[in-house]
Each structure stands twice: as structure tokens, then as C-alpha cells.
Amino acid sequence: MTITRGAIAPDFELRNQHGQTVSGQELLSRRAVLVVFIPLAFSPVCTDEVTQLNEWHDVAASAGVEIVVISVDSTATLRAWSEADGIRLSLLSDFWPHGAVAQAFGVFLHDKGFASRTSFLIDKAGIVRDVISSELGEPRLFADYERAIEQLSSDR
């Protein structure tokens, strides 16, 4: 079952595209976090979404939100994707145990072997403030990210 608004977000520790360990708890000690699950690197919809989020990174950061992207791809694949498309965001590998973090958030699609297209805005206290999702072949609405972060900022 997908984690819902108001729930405490599961903690996680994953390696990014550079092999560095990134922990949810460490991220939340600094700022709110937008955790963006994507099915697979290099796929068209995922690439479009991540490119848009990458371009919006500074706006989110100025609102006190860090964006991280999680997929079941290996760190090597995520590094290649980052270099090919100039992605500055942290791309986190949920490769092994396969999809464990996606499972903890309730978004792992067992029949497909990857995560659904779901994002979680988590405040500094670790509470899920918003859940944004779309069907696999459809991008999430960027306006939903803007609304969620605006709401988070106004609640502070």
C-alpha cells in the first residue's frame, strides 16, 4: 500500500550516480525533500520529467526543498544518464536489494520490476505532506509539484 499524506516517510539509504551514500535522514536534517520515483532511466517520459525537475532545481532549493530521484537502475546506468543529459539532481539507485526503498514507500510494481511514477514531498519532520502520481505512460503534472511546494512553504 502506498504511503499517504500525513504518514511518516520510511528512512532510506541509497547510493547516488557517483557512488556516494545518501540517507533520507541526512537530507531531512537540512531541508524538506521531494522524493521522485521513476520507472527506468533513459525512458522518454522519465527523461522529460527529470529534465524538467533538473531545470527547476534552483527554484525548489530556494523554497527549502531538495529533489532526489530514485529508480531501480544501477549506479552505472544512472551515472551514464546523468552525464548524457546533464542531470545535476541526485539520482539514487534502488538496485539491490531490488526495489527495497520503493517497496517501503509502497510503490514497487512487482509484476514490472520497477517503481510506479509516484513522488512524495516530505517535510523536515519526516511527514509526507503530498503524494503526486500518474499512470506509467503519463508524466506527473509539474503544476502539482509547484502547488505542493507552495503549500509547504505557506505552512511553515
Which of 32, 46, 87, 91 is an active site residue?
Answer: 46
DSSP string of 40-96?
A: -TT-HHHHHHHHHHHHTHHHHHHTTEEEEEEESS-HHHHHHHHHHHT--SEEEE-TT
Q: Are 126 and 8 in contact (CB under 8 A)?
A: yes
46 is catalytic: yes
Cα separation, 40 vs 30, whole angstroms: 28
How distant, in Å, are the alpha carbons of 34, 45, 76, 118 from that of 9? 11, 26, 27, 14
| Burial class of residue 114 in the structure, from the number of CB atoms within 10 Å of its CB (0-12 exposed, 13-18 middle, 19+ buried) | buried
| Active site positions, annotated | 46
